[in-house]
Amino acid sequence: MPEPENQPGRPPGHELDPRSLRGLAHPLRMRLLGALRRHGPATASQLAERLGESSGSTSYHLRQLAAYGFVEDDPERGKGRERWWKSAHYSTHFNAELYDDDSPDTRGAVSVYLHEVAGIHTQELNTWIGTMRDWPSEWAKNADLSDFTLRLDPEQLHELDEKLHALINSYSAVEPGEGAARVRVHLHAFPQRND
């Protein structure tokens, strides 16, 4: 899926291949990478506190993410033995060819990865619904929880997806106005049986 063009000061995106997918497809690793991308560089201890994990566990999984090229040391931070980590990429791209990989390991990793993404989206949406009264009312009035049912063939679904991504990506170049906040946009498009 397309992502915004690389922006100044942001590391480039990374396209998953079977090896890197297997390295990332773990719930804690995905949460660690997401936290580094969302909140910036951190130590294993800081991430453990943020995510409610042990520092031993976060340290181990950060080293695994580093072995697969998702995170790296942040040389601008840290003193002595304090090791700071940062994301090596701005985004992760899921290559659709992974769906056709016959390896049971890759198929399993695809399933873990997609289920974790769906879980993260659900959690973020539930957090918004649970906290929307804490935001000024214009945020709730302009947020959106829509769903649509269309009759499309696979090529039309691809075309729709490309157009939606292009529109969303066009906003990455827009200068945020006063009172701007980070906005999450989830996009789900999938076939459904006529049961």
Predicted confidence (pLDDT) per residue in 72-88, tens digit: 999 888 666 789 999 99
Q: How many helices (H) and strands (E) does the chain have?
A: 7, 5
Predicted confidence (pLDDT) per residue in 175-193, tens digit: 998 999 989 999 998 898 8
| pLDDT for res 80 | 66
CB 74 within 8 A of CB 85: yes
Residues of the chain with pLDDT under 50: 1-11
Q: Give pTM, 2 decimals.
A: 0.81
Q: Is the dihedral of CA 11, 126, 170, 17 positive or negative?
A: positive
| pLDDT for res 3 | 38
| pLDDT for res 12 | 61
Dist CA 101 CA 125 (whole Å): 31
